[in-house]
Amino acid sequence: MLENTIEATEIKSSGELLKTIEGLKSDGYRYSTMICLKANEGHDFIYVFEKDNKLKNLRYFVKPGEKPKSVSGIYLCALLIENEYQDLFGLTFEGLAIDYKGHLYLTPNSPKAPLA
């Protein structure tokens, strides 16, 4: 068991996720970043939001083969990090504002999904 984990609110479904994030935006939270981890065959997302220098984290588990919803419709600045994870983890986000189709960093010659 891991010690000193960061506090994070567990989110169960993608619909709930988008709704929570919309709620956070209207509360005046800023999108800080998103962290993607490999976990149990799928991926763990930790969304990090910030307000008044305090962090608020959301944890969401992406099941294997699931196409996660993009947050870039709510926070435009999310598009870069989501494109990065498309490159590095081979994920596919739905509804990206600008979709580099997995070629933000990598070219057709580069290794595919190196972090996956």
Partner 1 sequence: MTTVIPFGPQHPVLPEPVSLKLEIDNDVVVGALPSLGYVHRGLEKFIDTKDYNQTTYICERICGICSALHGITYTKAVEKLFDAEIPERAEYIRVIVGELNRLHSHLLWLGLFADGFGFESLFYECWKYREEVLDVAERITGNRVIHSISKVGGVSRDLTKENIDMLLKMCDSLEPKIKDIEKVFVNNYTVKQRLVGLATMSKQLAYEAGTAGPTLRGSGNAIDVRETADWDIYKDLGFKTAVAKEGDCYGRTKVRIDELYESIKLIRNAISKLPNGDIATPIKGFPTGEAIMRTEQPRGEVVYYVKGNGTKNLERLKVRTPTFANIPSLLLMLPGVRLADVPIVVLTIDPCISCTER
Partner 2 sequence: MSLAKSPWIIHVNCNSCNGCDIEVVACLTPLYDAERFGVLNIGTPKQADIMVVTGSVNYKNVNVIKNIYNQIPDPKVVLAVGACASTGGIFHNCYNVIGGVDQVIPVDAYVPGCCPRPEAILDGVVAALSILENKKKGNIKGKEVKLKGKEVPSNA
- The answer to whether the CB of 64 falls within 8 A of the CB of 16 is no
Coil, helix or strand for 9? strand
Is residue 107 a contact point for partner 2 (CB under 8 A)?
yes
Partner from partner 2, partner 1, none binding residue 23, C-beta < 5-8 Å depending on class: none
Give the helix, strand, coil percentages of the chain, each rounded to 5: 20, 30, 50
Min dist. Cβ of residue 45 to partner 2 (A): 23
105 near partner 2, rule: CB under 8 A: yes
5 token code pair: 């984990």
Using CB under 8 A as the binding rule, whether residue 65 contacts partner 2 is answered as: no
Binding site for partner 1 (CB under 8 A): 2-6, 25, 30-33, 35-37, 46, 48, 53, 55, 57, 75-77, 79-81, 88, 98, 103-107, 114-115
| Residue 108 partner contact from partner 2, partner 1, none using kind-dependent CB cut-offs of 5 to 8 Å | partner 2
Instruction: Output the CA torsion 39→95→57→85 (10° steps).
Output: 50
DSSP state of 58: E
Residues lying near partner 2 in the complex (CB under 8 A) are found at 105-111, 114
